[in-house]
Amino acid sequence: MSALVVDTSSWIAYFAGAARPALEEALEEGRAWLPAVVAAELLSGRLGARQRRRLTSLLDDLPLAPADRGHWYRVGKLRAFLREEGISISTPEAHVAQCALDLGAALLTEDGIFRLVAGHTDLRLAAIPSP
């Protein structure tokens, strides 16, 4: 099975009780990767001390997606390429997409911007069950 990068939007849906079989399977098999910006976004939410500790513990168990200098150069190039294609993407969104691209992983997300990115790059999206 291949790696799975999980976007903030899918973590939020999962924590709210939405079924995310791809995420559950990836967690069980140790294939769920964490982009650094996703950790920051999740931990910036309104959480009590206990919730923050539990979330931090869960995140500590995930492999952190590599993000060396070359990664950040690719993030910039991805944003520039997409802008030429008429797609505006934030640096955090580009970081998440580039993490998946760098790892050859699928991206699990609820955010529609990534469908546009996938239409112009090699980004693969994981299927989300229909409601």
Does residue 82 form part of some domain?
Answer: yes
Does residue 57 form part of some domain?
Answer: yes
Residues 2, 125 contacting (CB under 8 angstroms): no
Does residue 131 form part of some domain?
Answer: no
pLDDT at residue 37 in the model:
97
Does residue 113 form part of some domain?
Answer: yes
Does residue 86 form part of some domain?
Answer: yes
Tokens representing residue 31 in the block: 């294939």
Encode 44-71: b = buried (16+ Cβ within 10 Å), e = exposed: eeeeeeeeeeebeeeeeebeebebeeeb
CATH number of the domain at 20, please. 3.40.50.1010
3-state secondary structure of 100: helix
Domain count across the chain:
1
pLDDT at residue 128 in the model:
83
Residue 40 structural domain: 4-125
Stretches in the chain below the pLDDT threshold 50: none
Does residue 130 form part of some domain?
Answer: no
| pTM exceeds cut of 0.85 | yes
